[in-house]
Amino acid sequence: MKKQTRNIITVLAVMGLILSVYLIMSPLFKNNTPQSLNCKNYTDFDCPSVCAVCPPCEVCSSISCNSKEFCQSIGFNETWYENLNSKKTYCTVEQKKAEVCTMEYSPTCGWFNESIKCLKYPCAQTYSNICTACSSSNVEYYTTGECPK
């Protein structure tokens, strides 16, 4: 009788161990389809390819990770972020410390950091050149040319 009880306890312990491993590991193998993935749980930097980066509303200047359907519903072209990302350059520490800039005119769009709360896109200002853009404490990165309208 003792041997039979020990066998039952062993089987139950093994089954409990298997169930525990399953419960711990199952989220890792969950199917992250566009329907099951909550795009809002991601930032614009780690936004999965099944989602898109766009403003959270039609007149917002900030950007966030949203579903592609949402971005399309507000008329936003989902490829703009990839185009912007490939062209943006972050200001270096040396550029931020510039005290004097040349008078050269080479339109540069200085994109504001999070300390600035804009009411509409773009959250940026056109500066005369890279030096004047980066020397502004409000600018985080720049793109060449005038800011989008």
Residue range 48-57, pLDDT digits in tens: 888 888 877 7
Can you give the residue ranges of every domain in the chain? 30-85, 88-149
Higher per-residue confidence, 48 vs 46: 48
Instruction: Dump pLDDT digits (tens) for 82-101.
Output: 666 658 899 999 999 999 99
Cβ atoms of 135 and 96 closer than 8 Å: yes
pTM: 0.49
**Residue 116, class by beta-carbon neighbours within 10 Å (0-12 exposed, 13-18 middle, 19+ buried)?**
middle
Q: Is residue 127 a contact partner of residue 138, using CB atoms and an 8 Å limit? A: no
